[in-house]
Amino acid sequence: MHLRFQQKIQILHVDDEPSITDLTATFLEREDDQFSVETATSADEGLEVVTDRQPDCIVSDYNMPGMDGLEFLQTVREDYPDIPFILFTGKGSEEVASEAIAADVTGYLQKGSGTERYELLANRIRNAVEARRETKRADRQQQLMRLTEFAGNTGGFELNLDSGNLLLTDGTRRLVGLPEGAHHSLEEAIELYHPNDQPDVRQTLNRAAETGEHTRGTWRLQTLDGDERLVDVTITPAAESGDVTTLRGAVHDITERKERERELRAERRFIEQALDALEEVFYVLDTKGTIRRWNERAREITSHTGQALGDMQAIELFPESERETIADAIETTLADGQATVEADLRTADGDRRPYEFTGARLTDEDGTVTGLVGVGRDLSERRQRERRFQALVEESNDIISILDADGVFQYQSPSIKRILGYDPEETIGDTAWEYIHPDDREAVLDTFEEWVTNPEMTATVEYRAQHADGSWRWIEARGNNQPDNPAVEGYVVNSWDITGRRERENELQDIKRQYQTLVENFPDGAVFLYDRGLRVVRAGGSELSEAGLSLEEIEGSTPHTRYPPEIAEELVRNIENALAGESHRFEQEYQGEHYRIQTAPVRAGDGEITHAMAVSQNITDQVEDRQELEHQNEWLEEFTSVVSHDLRNPLNVAQARATVLQDRCCDDESQEHLSKTVTALERMESIIEDTLALARQGDTVAEMAPIQITSLVEQCWEGVETAGATFQIADEFTLRGDRERLRHIFENLFSNAVEHGGDDVTVRVGRAGKGRFYVEDDGPGIPPNDRKTVFEAGNTSATGGTCFGLTIVKRIAEAHGWGVSITEGRDSGARFEFNTVKMISE
């Protein structure tokens, strides 16, 4: 039973094949009399229709000349983000489907030969249009609420002083590792703390019970699984008739916070060095607008010496016409805390470069304004990257949300538009979990359940939320259901963007890893050590002689005395960056050879940078291989495009027309002819599919990873039509290979076994010795005279086979550097044996 709309549904169908659009329109309008289909043969023509008369739904092919279906979708989404858009295309790929989903496609449907594909398309259109219309009709509800700050704890407890009963919240149980239903006495709970902390715990509890005063302490908690956590415990006495009868408390796990504080202190030196690695201009001004600090980028951009910058007022770096604007921005920042301004930066040479400057006020511990800190971003290249000090210049208004007990948004504050890109009303009625990264949902759900079940519970959780543009932002949220606030009907969540903090922490870790790897794992090649005068003081490596250089010629030389100007200038720039604390990798061509060069700072024991190191590798063969591979890929792309588009589209039309004739024709002889025609067309489609698979295999495998054979084989078996056939894993082992391409080996061998051995065939996978494994079945086997030819394209003994299955198996094996042979299996069936395999576990 189909849902009928009270008004017409205007559909725009875009496909470069008119026969496809005509056929689709016929099916859709016959399927539902509410459908009205308009067609276009290109994306550009489709855009004109959308601009002139906006349809209720767009259906588009993917592979079209000029603008393809994915680019068409992205263009439509820029101006019409809520129009349902269904990608209706031929045999697609996971990559296309993934990109379409990322571009906010409404539906992704492959064309087929049967009428059921068009019935499915009609249902997708109805559902999409209904959802859009229901969204427009839905009531939007806004609530005024009081914005408050919420403190978060991880657990709590209650101790009855008369009975000695100790009650723990779920949060405390999870922190301790105590199973549900298990109980601890007071003494058992105290013994969970570090032995050196236990006397202080007892004393604090006794003082709270005796004095009735609010107490707290920070102690080491030893969990039941052997972990040690640092907790902040607050204890609040409750009295009856003047006597303290109950102690209630909150346990806040501060381990990560303390560890983060220690890490930040230890890495402060790293941060100082990182300032000079920033792409943006970094500066510090005092309250008079005098430049007090700058990074290397500021010196490079302005072309001023460090001494000149140190004696300069900030406004002197700008043209006369812009100095008043800059002065006002400095005053605004010092007074209001933050300001952003765009102006032309004037270099020492008189050049002008457009920049955006964002500043934030600096204060000391007493709150006295001491100056401002800021960054400048080059607007000519739109360098809008978030950097380490982004938190100093971003707006800090939080998102305030109200959810019901099911996690459905009832209210969103306007700041969600700035932080996540959504209009507040768009999200009302949506479930909060839809916006949260799948890997983070469980933790958020657990925290939300605590808020709902414990009226006095407050907690903080970090997770990734999806931005309207499809990216992910790190969010920290604190919730409190405000049980005593009658103005709030629901659960309040206070959220703020911590992406900058997360990125800064990740960048610090990256810098440490890169520096450690650079020091400990220099690759083979030529190594040069430069002093601060850019002179070579050490050199070594086999590549020196390959480049026609001797140690005597190199030591004491500079890049400008050894190399052509264009090479020397780039090398000098990167050596100077290394002396300033930056590491760089780049490529150069010298005397017809290609080299990859990595520069890095060399530090003394006290951390001072004394030299710069450059490591060079000859990558000429890699560059030539890369160019050859790009040429081959271009040819393969042309080939697969012709096969998949120019052949498959008319084939789909023929299949669809033949199916329609089968439905309408009743003559037995005609039915027989049509049935054979459909079978022949389906065989043509299989040949096209296998031809594409064979063309895409390539001759080598670039990326190989460890693959556990059991999980791979089970996945492949589920992906093949095996009827009543069975398979066995004779041995567990792990090998190195390309998982996606190995999937084709096993799926083709399994299909081959079922085709030749029948529905009750048994397939077995196991090891055949060191560096060898096999796939065998108990079917009829392959005669010895035929075993050398079955891998050749065009050889098959199965009716309706496409001749490429075993050819693909051999091609993929050879691409891995393996050999493959055919013998007789232990049950007289066919046995395919692979050798020279890189095994991880033998």
Q: For 359-408, what is each residue's pLDDT tens digit?
A: 999 888 888 999 999 888 888 765 343 337 233 323 446 888 888 888 89
* Per-residue model confidence (pLDDT) at position 85: 94
- Whole-number Å distance between alpha carbons of 253 and 154: 6
Residue 515 backbone class (left: φ over 0; alpha: ψ -120 to 50; beta: rest): alpha
Q: Which residues lie below 8 Å from residue 489, measured CB to CB, with a gap of 6+?
A: 143, 402, 410
N-to-C CA span, the chain: 58
Residue 362 near residue 371, CB atoms below 8 Å: yes
Residue 493 near residue 478, CB atoms below 8 Å: yes
DSSP 313: B
Q: What is the mean pLDDT of residues 4-27?
A: 84
Strand 243-253 to 584-590 pairing: unpaired
Residue 333 near residue 345, CB atoms below 8 Å: no
pLDDT for 609 beyond 50: yes
Burial class (CB in 10 A: 0-12, 13-18, 19+), 718: exposed
- pLDDT digit string, tens, across residues 402-441: 888 888 988 888 888 888 999 988 889 999 888 999 999 8
Q: What is the mean pLDDT of residues 743-759?
A: 89
* Per-residue model confidence (pLDDT) at position 712: 93
Give the C-alpha distances (Å, rounded to integers) separating 145 from 48, 139, 400, 402, 412. Answer: 45, 19, 9, 9, 11
Q: Which of 362, 375, 351, 363 is nearest to 298 (CA)?
A: 375
- pLDDT digit string, tens, across residues 257-310: 888 877 776 665 565 566 666 778 888 999 888 988 888 888 888 888 877 887
- Whole-number Å distance between alpha carbons of 679 and 700: 35
pLDDT for 345 beyond 80: yes
- Whole-number Å distance between alpha carbons of 216 and 213: 10
Torsion of CA 274, 277, 282, 286, to 10 degrees: 40
Taking the CA atoms of 66, 69, 72 and 78 in sequence, report the sign of the dihedral they define. Answer: negative
Distance of CA 519 to the CA centre of its chain: 29
Q: Phi, psi (5° rounding) for residue 668?
A: -60, -45
Q: What is the mean pLDDT of residues 300-321?
A: 85
pLDDT for 61 beyond 50: yes
* Per-residue model confidence (pLDDT) at position 20: 87
- Model pTM? 0.29
Structure confidence at residue 730 as a pLDDT band (50, 70, 90): very high
DSSP 392: G
- Whole-number Å distance between alpha carbons of 409 and 416: 12
E strands of 604-729, at which residues?
A: 609-618, 705-708, 726-729
Residues in the chain: 842
State whether residue 16 is helix, strand or coil. Answer: coil
Burial code of 581-611, b = ≥16 C-beta within 10 A, e = fewer? bbbbeeeeeeeeebbbbbbbbbeeeeeeeeb
Burial code of 223-261, b = ≥16 C-beta within 10 A, e = fewer? eeeeeebbbbbbbbbeeeeeebebbbbbbbbeeeeeeee
DSSP 507: H
For residue 641, how many other CB atoms are within 10 A of its CB? 11
Q: For residue 639, give the H/E element and its range.
A: helix 620-641
* Per-residue model confidence (pLDDT) at position 502: 83
What tokens appear for 45 in the block?
């023509």
- Whole-number Å distance between alpha carbons of 152 and 766: 54
Structure confidence at residue 510 as a pLDDT band (50, 70, 90): very low
Q: For residue 501, give the H/E element and its range.
A: helix 499-520
Burial code of 696-705, b = ≥16 C-beta within 10 A, e = fewer? ebbeebeebe
- Whole-number Å distance between alpha carbons of 630 and 603: 41
- Whole-number Å distance between alpha carbons of 551 and 538: 8
- Compute the C-alpha angle 535/540/544, nearest 5°: 95
pLDDT for 240 beyond 90: no
Q: What is the mean pLDDT of residues 39-43?
A: 92
For residue 394, how many other CB atoms are within 10 A of its CB? 17
What percentage of the chain has pLDDT greater than the value 90?
26
* Per-residue model confidence (pLDDT) at position 837: 93
Structure confidence at residue 72 as a pLDDT band (50, 70, 90): very high
DSSP 2: P
- Whole-number Å distance between alpha carbons of 367 and 392: 16
Q: What is the DSSP string of 319-380?
A: -HHHHHHHHHHHHHHHHHSEEEEEEEEEPTTS-EEEEEEEEEEEE-TT--EEEEEEEEEETT
- Whole-number Å distance between alpha carbons of 227 and 223: 5
Q: What is the DSSP string of 147-211?
A: -------SEEEEEETTT--EEE-HHHHHHHTPPTT----HHHHHTTB-TTTHHHHHHHHHHHHHH
For residue 414, how many other CB atoms are within 10 A of its CB? 11
Structure confidence at residue 666 as a pLDDT band (50, 70, 90): low
Q: What is the mean pLDDT of residues 810-816?
A: 89
Minimum mean pLDDT range among 89-98, 105-114, 296-305 = 89-98
Q: What is the DSSP string of 236-289?
A: EEEEETTEEEEEEEEEEE-HHHHHHHHHHHHTHHHHHHHHTT-SSEEEEEETTS
Residue 312 near residue 326, CB atoms below 8 Å: no
Burial code of 481-515, b = ≥16 C-beta within 10 A, e = fewer? bbeeeeebebbbbbbebbbbbbbbbebbeebeeeb
